[in-house]
Amino acid sequence: MIRSMTGYGAATGRVGAQQVTVELRTVNHRFFNPTIKLPASLSRWEGEVREVLRRGIARGHVTLTVRAERDARTGLVVDEGKFAAYVDQLRALQTRFGLADTLDVATVLRMPDVMAADGAEETPSTAEELTRLVQEALAALTAMREDEGKRLAALLDERLTTVEQALDRLAARAPERLVAERERLRRSVRELADGVDLDPARLVQEIAVMADRLDVAEEIDRFRSHIAAFRQTLRAAAGEQVGKRLSFLLQEMLREANTTGSKARDTVMVHDVVAVKEELERIAEQVENVE
């Protein structure tokens, strides 16, 4: 069954001395387009995280956010070397720009990497711990995308049924329209001839040319075959990338609808062609969200 490109998944667990929460959000996009937000302590594994996402998501804009909190049982120590360096830099800036000579400990402690976990090396974090959480979040995301895909497939199938009903009306109306056009042509020719003898064979030939020009049977047959292929694609195996194929089939359906409309020259048929094109537009909006 198809997958939606919209979804959410999350997972929480330990990575070394940190409690880590991974959140994944996806929306539709033509290509795989990840945005990865990792805390500084885990940023060195961005490549491994990106690879996990690439293997699990074919298309869509992906936003991964990771939040990390130190274990409350782990004490904090001040990196005095960094503390001193920040003090020197701040003092220099005060002197250079004539700033007020006020600098407290709290200000310096809030600077990046001044505070560090005591004993962090005793519980080292690993890429495997982080990617395991990413995979758990990805599994939850995939389940949601598949559930949404089922609802999306049902909606698309319903709209295809509406299109088929309009095609049935077009197919039923087409022969009636040809008969009416044939009689109209004969009346017009007789009126223009004004009693002059006409060649019956020539008239039959002109009627045949007109019928061929107005016949929409081939367009309707091709349209039905595209619908069958569309439905078969909706039932594709899980994980297959079908969004682009569905979009292509929709383009072909629209081509047949346009050709049918240009040949119609009949108010009733044109009305149904417009209805078909409206449904195709609605289907296209939904297909944009299929992976």
Three-class HEC string of 6-21: CEEEEEEEEECCEEEE
Domains of the chain, CATH where assigned: 7-73+126-144 (3.30.230), 76-117 (no CATH), 148-287 (no CATH)
Task: Report residue 116 CA to chain centroid gap.
Answer: 42
If we measure between CA atoms, which residue out of 54, 34, 58, 6 comes closest to residue 239? 58
What angle separates helix 127-193 from helix 217-234, to the nearest 10 degrees?
A: 170
Whether residue 178 contacts residue 214, with contact meaning beta carbons closer than 8 Å, is answered with: yes
For residue range 130-172, list pLDDT tens digits in order: 999 999 999 999 999 999 999 999 999 999 999 999 999 999 9
Residue type, 149: G
What global pTM score does this model have? Answer: 0.70
For residue range 189-241, list pLDDT tens digits in order: 666 556 556 556 655 565 555 655 667 888 999 999 999 999 999 887 655 67
